[in-house]
Chain A
Amino acid sequence: GAVVSQHPSWVICKSGTSVKIECRSLDFQATTMFWYRQFPKQSLMLMATSNEGSKATYEQGVEKDKFLINHASLTLSTLTVTSAHPEDSSFYICSADGLADTGELFFGEGSRLTVL
């Protein structure tokens, strides 16, 4: 089946720094990728829809200048958390549609961000 790879799996950074998370579709092309965030004991919340070659679509309440999304190719989308603060500590997960139009999404392994 389709595989989505995410990197890094874990990142610890100081407050005020920026962190980039990569999401790659390994054996298929993904024109659309989705970025989710999950806080402890909560569900996944969609942050934005990443569209190849165009601007991302952000969900209400998500700051686009803080969470920069770039989808420059059909196999790579990146999420940059700019000037990270402790409240940004969370589990960030990307996903993409698989090869078949079944509605199923394939998820990356997730990136756990801890901001000190």
Chain B
Amino acid sequence: RKEVEQDPGPFNVPEGATVAFNCTYSNSASQSFFWYRQDCRKEPKLLMSVYSSGNEDGRFTAQLNRASQYISLLIRDSKLSDSATYLCVVRTSNTGKLIFGQGTTLQVKP
């Protein structure tokens, strides 16, 4: 079993749609959780950290369920510019290595 699992997609949605990505992780000792965004042939960039209480940043909402070892990302009112691969990332400590999921590809169409 992979340490971090995501549905690779692709998710093809129209502009304005709401889309949700899910991610599960296997190490119950994991402490830090993130969603990164990666554009084609570019390095990953932090989209948002994920906190136990859930957090929102504009159109993006992240949720963490430690009991189920499950992380989610919700994107509302999708824009064309949201088209990218979204990487679920887990870290066992604030200084340990990052473990990446396979990534979920989102394609927002006009």
Q: Taking beta carbons and an 8 Å cutoff, which residues of A are in contact with B?
A: 32, 34, 36, 42-46, 49, 91, 93, 95, 97, 101-105, 107-110, 112
Given contacts A43-B102, A44-B100, contact A101 B94 (CB under 8 A): yes
Contact present for B103 and A43 (CB under 8 Å): yes
What's the Cα separation between A102 and B51 when bound, in Å? 11
Instruction: Select the stretch in B12-20, B40-48, B62-70, B74-82 that faces chain A.
Output: B40-48
Return chain A residues, CB-CB under 8 Å to B46: 104
What's the Cα separation between A109 and B100 when bound, in Å? 17
Report if B22 contacts A (CB, 8 A). Answer: no
Report if B108 contacts A (CB, 8 A). Answer: no
Secondary structure call for the A interface: strand
What's the Cα separation between A103 and B46 when bound, in Å? 11
Return chain A residues, CB-CB under 8 Å to B101: 43
Secondary structure call for the B interface: loop
Known: A45-B100, A110-B42. 9 other contacts (CB 8 A): A42-B102, A101-B94, A101-B95, A103-B31, A103-B49, A103-B95, A105-B98, A109-B43, A110-B41
Number of interface residues of B (CB under 8 A): 22
Min C-beta distance of A30 to chain B, whole Å: 11
What's the Cα separation between A75 and B87 when bound, in Å? 27
Given contacts A103-B49, A104-B49, contact A46 B98 (CB under 8 A): yes
